[in-house]
Amino acid sequence: MFSKACKYAINAMIYISTLPGGNDRVSLKDISKAINSPEAFTAKILQVLVRENLLSSIKGPNGGFEIHEDGRKTQLYRIVQVIDGDQIFIGCALGLEKCSEDHPCAVHNKFKAIREHLAGMMLTTSLEDMAKGIKNGTNFLKI
Amino acid sequence: MFSKACKYAINAMIYISTLPGGNDRVSLKDISKAINSPEAFTAKILQVLVRENLLSSIKGPNGGFEIHEDGRKTQLYRIVQVIDGDQIFIGCALGLEKCSEDHPCAVHNKFKAIREHLAGMMLTTSLEDMAKGIKNGTNFLKI
DNA sequence: TTTATAAAGGATAAAAATATCTTAAATATC
DNA sequence: GATATTTAAGATATTTTTATCCTTTATAAA
Ligand code: FES
Ligand code: FES
């Protein structure tokens, strides 16, 4: 469904969102430990998220990554879009050049419903929402 | 969502299902032309489908691929399972070792519904069903 | 029985995704 | 200002996926 890069991105963003916020930042090392991901690869993914303004970073001692108040409203949809692109939301499930009503593939109609279900869910799920379950121990980021 | 191999497999199986059946077989060349896929790669995929008995093949002149009467009842689910494995149906969306209620990832509950929607659709969609739309020109296998 | 045809199987190649390493830039603390 | 820390960036490596090529096997038809 999602690439590994995208899974790491989602879990990392959620993890960062569980932390206090304020002046505290969390380091790459802590993030990849918390989500059980390869550190250097995770760094590359976080770079993209910073570049796309889903996340902010500060270099140097006590530096690290942080998500501001309003950044926690970020939709799951947006994270996937930034890392994996939006083919999962708008592309043809069977590989036609584009998905359309005019030239539908063999599963177009049946898939449309699922894709809308998926997109709807991801548009209405925010980091805040997901972080809640992690903070209260209902949900998990690794293993 | 699906690998390219899987998309080719699905389209190929549908294409073969649109043909009369009887004694007529269709060649690799015709298949990859009909679904616009790389011939040699498609051959590899068809080999797997034959090995898994979703398809039968005959070598030599007038040889080719064929799907028998009852083979056309094959579920879309089964094709995906054979080519891509069933991680899409049973694996964790965020990469946890396994998907479970006891140790759910951050999106488990929301994803479960979508995955069930997807699995249900694929279990109830057969080659026969999909071939119908192709035969009457409502749906398309390429471009 | 020879020849041609078509899939199977094995080896190899190219591209993309995943992962690591090394150096540079920024910044806080001494 | 020097030093240590932490992310950014660029280069490189490994693995997986996608794709191609070549040889073998089966079979139909001449
Ligand atoms: S055309 Fe294939 S999903 Fe719409
Ligand atoms: S635990 Fe992640 S989808 Fe179920």
Contact A120, A89 (CB under 8 A): no
For residue A83, the domain's CATH number is: 1.10.10.10
Look up the pTM and report it: 0.96
Question: CA B102, CA B117: separation in Å to the nearest integer?
Answer: 22
3-state secondary structure of B65: strand
Q: Decide if A143 is inside a domain.
A: no
Q: Look up residue A53 and give its two tokens.
A: 């303004």
Question: CA A98, CA A4: separation in Å to the nearest integer?
Answer: 25
Q: Look up residue B96 and give its two tokens.
A: 């946890």
Q: Decide if A131 is inside a domain.
A: yes
Query: Is A28's Cβ below 8 Å from some Cβ in B?
Result: no
For ligand 1, whether the C-beta of A91 sits within 6 Å is no
User: Is residue B16 pLDDT above 80, yes or no?
Assistant: yes
- Ligand 1 mean position, distance from CA A142 (Å): 34
Question: CA B25, CA B19: separation in Å to the nearest integer?
Answer: 8
Query: In the prediction, which pLDDT does A53 show?
Result: 98
Residue range A23-51: mean pLDDT, rounded: 97
Q: Decide if B142 is inside a domain.
A: no
Return the C-alpha torsion angle A66, A72, A78, A83, nearest 10.
Answer: 20
Q: How many domains does chain A have?
A: 1
Q: Which residues of A touch B76 (CB under 8 A)?
A: 107
| Strand C within 7 A of B90 CB | no
Residue range B12-36: mean pLDDT, rounded: 94
Q: Decide if A142 is inside a domain.
A: no
Q: Decide if A141 is inside a domain.
A: no
C20 C1' to A29 CA distance, Å: 15
pLDDT band at A22 (very low <50, low <70, confident <90, very high): confident
- For residue A8, the enclosing domain spans 4-135
Q: Decide if B140 is inside a domain.
A: no
Q: Decide if B143 is inside a domain.
A: no
Residue range A116-142: mean pLDDT, rounded: 98
Q: Decide if B141 is inside a domain.
A: no
Residue range A31-42: mean pLDDT, rounded: 98
